[in-house]
Amino acid sequence: MDIELVKCECCGLKEDCTIDYINGVKAKFDGKWLCGLCSEAVRDEVSRGKKQYCVEEAVKAHMSFCRKYKSSPAFRVADGMRLMLRRRSSDKSSFQKSPPSSSSSSKKHSIRSPNSSQVGDESSFSICRSETEEGTRISAFGLE
């Protein structure tokens, strides 16, 4: 049983896997090697996406998404700032449209939703190496 180090063509994660497992994954994803996390994202896009994607289109869309966010940390910070400013801008416009009738309306605009993301927020990830009948696999899981 030969084991080979392969690199995900989307996110760049490297995994030690058997040749049979590598070939099986490539057969499912148009000849491209995808790690477990990216392959799940592509499968999800195919099955539940807003647009009906074929596997090839879903792989291309996910690769584009990964390239955007791994290109540079500065880009992620700038993107986060853009989103934050957009939220604040929409909060100010909705605040200005409603009459300031009580202090509770100002409190409503100062409370931050616990689900909103902020610049610098990062999910924790756990990387797991597992042996399966198909081969050795390392997967990343987000912890919330």
Reported as a single tens digit per residue, the pLDDT across 50-62 is: 666 788 888 998 8
Phi, psi of 18 (to 5 degrees): -75, 160
What type of residue is 21? Answer: Y
Question: Which of the residue ranges 5-9, 24-28, 135-139 would you say has the lowest mean pLDDT?
Answer: 135-139
For residue 24, is pLDDT > 80? yes
**Residue 112: pLDDT band by 50, 70, 90 thresholds?**
very low
Nearest to 16 by CA among 137, 106, 101: 137
Nearest to 129 by CA among 118, 137, 121: 137
Q: Could you tell me the end-to-end alpha-carbon distance of the chain, in angstroms, rounded to an integer?
A: 36
- The confidence score (pLDDT) of residue 67 equals 82
Rounded to two decimals, what is the model's pTM? 0.48
- The confidence score (pLDDT) of residue 98 equals 53
- The confidence score (pLDDT) of residue 16 equals 94
Reported as a single tens digit per residue, the pLDDT across 48-104 is: 766 667 888 889 988 888 887 766 666 667 777 787 888 778 766 655 555 555 444
Q: Beta strands 124-132 and 14-18: pairing type?
A: unpaired
Only one residue has tokens 């509770």, namely: 104
Residue 124 contacts by C-beta under 8 Å, 6 or more apart in sequence? 142, 143
Reported as a single tens digit per residue, the pLDDT across 27-58 is: 999 899 999 989 998 988 888 766 667 888 88
